[in-house]
């Protein structure tokens, strides 16, 4: 099988698996215990925290481990809003984009029942936020803005330097979902208060993520969970040492391979698009007007060719129609419709994502399968 769904998840790198194994059986101590085995596990946790921090340009003490980016996004948005409300901050507006991950959109919308004002901005046809529209939304005193760095369907990169300046000028907190960005391209946390990360998007294990919480100026959050006060009281619960160690090793590998991986993956992505676009008249690429992640390829197929029908005709090629978290709904991508595509056109789109393990031979075979599937649907 040819796997081209790296935005959904990535395989664990063998070195990550090797880093994890001892912590399951040999060194299984609770990292919050004070005996020798616990202290050894705690040392592994702190080493991983430092590795993640170095990858994203943070201080280790600014990194809080979570179960993944979904929890990190919930903690950042709800935690920041509830803390500021509790200490008497009068601001209630929270701004996000219509193309955000569902966990961000739903977190923002759910806060309306607690007296907050959710504002969901549209995006331009290229998938990026309109700076003037963002400035206008921030004319009302705003508590928090949440915008992802790289879209999980199109790979489109927001201009975070410009966005962060606008948000900071308005005096709001800025949260950035960096789950797709980290480990694929260099990231900057300048002017960013909160940022979410996920190990399984960078060849680490599922079930572990992190939240960057800026120390200076200090950002404070209300915890989502009640418990033992682990992770400096922000995120209670026993940390899974094997997953944390795997996350740390994945971050080390990503940091070492960042430039080389990005160039190789971009070239493979471009080759796939060249082969497909030359053989299938009428197909187009979504988000091609903007900077994108190296592995991102969102293809709109010709008229009367449904994406799901094409997927069914090439069972050996693993691609998708949109976010894995939304795929079960079997509806056109809300990200693409927010970019101005009709529901009919969005239903003709495939999300293809190339990764570290992809080979040139797989690209050529996948292109042949895709071309054959589209032609079969047209006959």
Residues identified as active-site? 325
The bridge status of strand 194-198 relative to strand 173-177 is parallel
Which residues, listed in sequence order, are joined to residue 297 by a DSSP beta bridge? 352
| C-beta of residue 261 within 8 angstroms of C-beta of residue 341 | no
- Taking a C-beta distance cutoff of 8 angstroms, is the pair 324, 8 a contact? yes
Strand partners, 175: 146, 194
Q: What is the 3-state secondary structure (H, E, C) of the chain?
A: CEECECCCCCCCCHHHHHHHCHHHHCCCCCCCCCCHHHHHHHHHHHHHHHHHHHHHCCCHHHEEEECCHHHHHHHHHHHHHHHHHHCCCCCCEEEEECCCCHHHHHHHHHHHHHCCEEEEECCCCCCCCCHHHHHHHCCCCEEEEECCCECCCCCEECCHHHHHHHHHHHCCEEEEECCCCCCCCCCCCCCCCEEEEEHHHCCCCCCCEEEEECCCCCCCCCCCCCCCCCCCCCCCCCCCHHHHHHHHHHHHHHHHHHHHHHHHHHHHHHHHHHHHHHHCCCCEEECCCCCECCCEEEEECCCCCCHHHHHHHCCCEECECCCCCCHHHCCCCHHHHHCCCCHHHHCCEEEEECCCCCCHHHHHHHHHHHHHHHHHHHC
């Amino acid at each position: 099988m040819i796997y081209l769904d790296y935005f959904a998840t990535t395989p664990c790198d063998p070195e990550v698996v090797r880093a994890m194994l001892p912590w399951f059986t040999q060194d299984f101590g609770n990292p919050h215990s004070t005996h020798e085995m616990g202290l050894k596990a705690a040392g592994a946790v702190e080493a991983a925290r430092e590795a993640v921090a170095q990858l994203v340009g943070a201080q280790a003490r600014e990194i809080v481990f979570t179960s993944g980016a979904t929890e990190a996004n919930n903690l950042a948005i709800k935690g920041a809003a509830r803390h500021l409300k509790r200490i008497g901050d009068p601001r209630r507006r929270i701004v996000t984009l219509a193309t955000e991950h569902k966990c961000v959109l739903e977190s923002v919308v759910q806060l309306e029942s607690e007296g907050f004002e959710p504002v969901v901005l549209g995006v331009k046809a290229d998938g990026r936020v309109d700076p003037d529209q963002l400035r206008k939304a921030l004319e009302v005193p705003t508590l928090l803005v949440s915008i992802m760095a790289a879209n999980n369907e199109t790979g489109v990169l927001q201009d975070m330097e410009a966005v962060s300046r606008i948000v900071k000028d308005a005096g709001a907190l800025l949260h950035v979902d960096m789950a797709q960005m980290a480990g694929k391209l260099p990231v900057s946390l300048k002017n960013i208060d909160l940022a979410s990360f996920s190990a399984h998007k960078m060849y680490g294990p599922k079930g572990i993520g992190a939240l960057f919480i800026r120390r200076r100026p200090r950002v404070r959050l209300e915890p989502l969970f009640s418990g033992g006060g682990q992770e400096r009281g922000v995120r209670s619960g026993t940390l899974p040492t094997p997953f944390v160690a795997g996350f740390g090793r994945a971050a080390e590998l990503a940091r070492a391979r960042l430039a080389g991986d990005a160039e190789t993956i971009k070239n493979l992505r471009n080759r796939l698009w060249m082969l497909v676009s030359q053989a299938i008249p009428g197909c187009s690429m979504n988000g091609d007007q903007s900077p994108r992640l190296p592995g991102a390829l969102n293809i709109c197929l010709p008229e009367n060719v449904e994406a799901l029908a094409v997927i069914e005709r090439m069972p050996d090629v693993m691609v998708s129609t949109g976010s894995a978290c939304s795929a079960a709904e079997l509806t056109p991508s809300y990200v693409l419709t927010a970019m101005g595509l009709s529901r009919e056109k969005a239903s003709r789109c495939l999300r293809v994502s190339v990764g570290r393990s992809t080979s040139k031979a797989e690209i050529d075979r996948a292109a042949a399968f895709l071309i054959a599937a589209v032609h079969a649907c047209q006959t």
